[in-house]
Chains A and B, each alone.
Chain A
Amino acid sequence: MDFGFKLSPSSAINLDKVDLSRFEKLHGIEPDIIKCMACGSCTSSCPANRFSGMSLRKVILDLQRGREKEALGMLRNCMLCGKCTMVCPRGINTRHLILSICRIYGEDGK
């Protein structure tokens, strides 16, 4: 039925309702994840950014905000080349972090 308008869900992030259980699990394996200071070095050197908008900075942020679908979408073209590991000023092992995300989060939502 077309009413001529749509009800769009609020774009606000409600931290009260965000399920962080998987993030906690990830944090357990990758304690360095919260060392990120969002400088964006990883994004600007990332060869996958051109294709899937990959930005590890955003992935880390999105996972903490419960936006898992958006995060995984960005990971789609990650080639694990290691440039982000090289440039990270906080020395985060980003390659292992990405592999851990791929293990814990799945498209099936399990």
Chain B
Amino acid sequence: MKENIVIIGGGIAGLEAAAQLLSLGYKPIIIEKSDHLGGHVAEWNCLFPDMTPARDIVSSLAARSADANIFLNTEISFVNKLKDSYNIMLSNGISIITKIILVTTGFSVFDAAKKEEYGYGVYDQVITNRDLEHWFNTGEDKRVNDCGMNAVGFVHCVGSRDEKARNPQCSKVCCITAVKQAIELKQKFPDAMVYCFYMDLRMFGKKYEDFYISAQRDYGVRFIRGRVSEVSENIDGRVIVKAEDTLSGKPVKVTLDLLVLMAGMVCSPDSTRVANMARLPVDSDGFLKSEDNVADIISSPKEGVFYAGACTGPKTVPETLAEARAAALKVHLYIKGLE
């Protein structure tokens, strides 16, 4: 049980894997570049489809993995391949020799300012899904006007399924996140009109369809099939959104008090950095490449390097957790094989 296990990334994947490894008797090392654990989930408010508070998930994960060696505010300076192990140099000067690396570097939220036509950072009423969660958590965002919320729009697929944004694949979770956030906004502003502009609605998960039906039936969220192509501003500072209602075949125009951009998932630059240092291959979608996308998504082609979570592609929270557990088991079996 002396084997070092290095987990790169203290998001939910890293924490869950660490918790599982701890219960198997190992003492993993978690390296986290920010000052807190939990990654993106820690910034979220509630999780679909049961509105589970994200805080609960993160705190229970943190509690279960508290015995691991955790380095916060720490980055990896370089990785050297030794004969049958890796030498990892950390930014705090510590160097670790290990035979096992578990990459849980996760994803980045697409920078919505890159879609210039939506005016993120230009118009005061345009925010992203992440900004909205921040507002749910703190209630602080000057862009969200508490009193005069008459109409809100959600733009799906911002930076997803978009070759112009250099991200042609689907980010998987934005559709259901938009439904969730639309419902939450409707709960806060029952009189507001809420529109979702989508290309295709992908309600693939457990209870997602129910959630969608509830948004339509119980909350009156309007779904418009058409991608927003232009956003402008009118004289009184509200934003005008133009799209085509492809089902009626007519262009639609609507004036909104708040426009929420559902920024998608892209491979985090940290994953790419780690991949470069450890010479891990990158797949055509920009995420890390697994040994096999069907049978063995948690193994990298390199000996002793494993993946868990969104570093190999967009994933939901339950999928990530399941993968983390699988990875922990894989690591355990790998160590057994070494002995």
State the A residues within 8 Å of B (CB): 37-45, 49, 55, 57-58, 86-91
Contacts A45-B229, A58-B249, A89-B227 hold; do A40 and B243 have CB atoms under 8 A apart?
yes
> Which residues on the B side are within 8 Å of A57 (C-beta)?
244, 246
Contacts A45-B229, A49-B251 hold; do A89 and B244 have CB atoms under 8 A apart?
no
Q: Quick check: B157 and A89 within 8 Å, CB to CB?
A: yes
Q: Quick check: B228 and A44 within 8 Å, CB to CB?
A: yes
Q: Does B143 contact A (CB under 8 A)?
A: no
The tally of residues in B whose CB lies under 8 Å from a CB in A reads 23
The contact of B242 among A38, A45, A89, A91, by CB within 8 Å, is A45
The contact of A55 among B157, B200, B244, by CB within 8 Å, is B244
Contacts A87-B229, A89-B227 hold; do A43 and B164 have CB atoms under 8 A apart?
no
Q: Looking at the assembled complex, report how far the CB atom of A48 sits from the nearest CB atom of chain B, in whole angstroms.
A: 12
Q: Does B226 contact A (CB under 8 A)?
A: yes
Contacts A89-B157, A89-B163 hold; do A41 and B227 have CB atoms under 8 A apart?
yes
Contacts A55-B249, A57-B246 hold; do A91 and B163 have CB atoms under 8 A apart?
yes
The chain A residue sitting closest to B117, CB to CB, is A87
User: Considering the chains assembled together, what is the distance between the CA atoms of A38 and B246 in angstroms?
Assistant: 7
State the B residues within 8 Å of A (CB): 117, 157, 161-165, 199-200, 225-230, 242-246, 249, 251-252
User: Considering the chains assembled together, what is the distance between the CA atoms of A39 and B199 in angstroms?
Assistant: 5
Q: Looking at the assembled complex, report how far the CB atom of A43 sits from the nearest CB atom of chain B, in whole angstroms.
A: 4
User: Considering the chains assembled together, what is the distance between the CA atoms of A86 and B157 in angstroms?
Assistant: 16
Q: Looking at the assembled complex, report how far the CB atom of B227 sits from the nearest CB atom of chain A, in whole angstroms.
A: 4
**Can you list 9 A-B pairs with a CB-CB distance of less than 8 A?**
A40-B245, A43-B246, A44-B226, A44-B227, A57-B246, A87-B117, A87-B164, A89-B157, A89-B164
Q: Quick check: B230 and A44 within 8 Å, CB to CB?
A: yes
> Which residues on the A side are within 8 Å of B228 (C-beta)?
41, 44
> Which residues on the A side are within 8 Å of B246 (C-beta)?
38-40, 43, 57
Q: Quick check: A91 and B164 within 8 Å, CB to CB?
A: yes
Q: Quick check: A39 and B226 within 8 Å, CB to CB?
A: yes
Among all A-B residue pairs, the 8 with the closest Cβ atoms: A40-B244, A39-B227, A43-B244, A91-B163, A45-B229, A40-B226, A41-B229, A89-B162
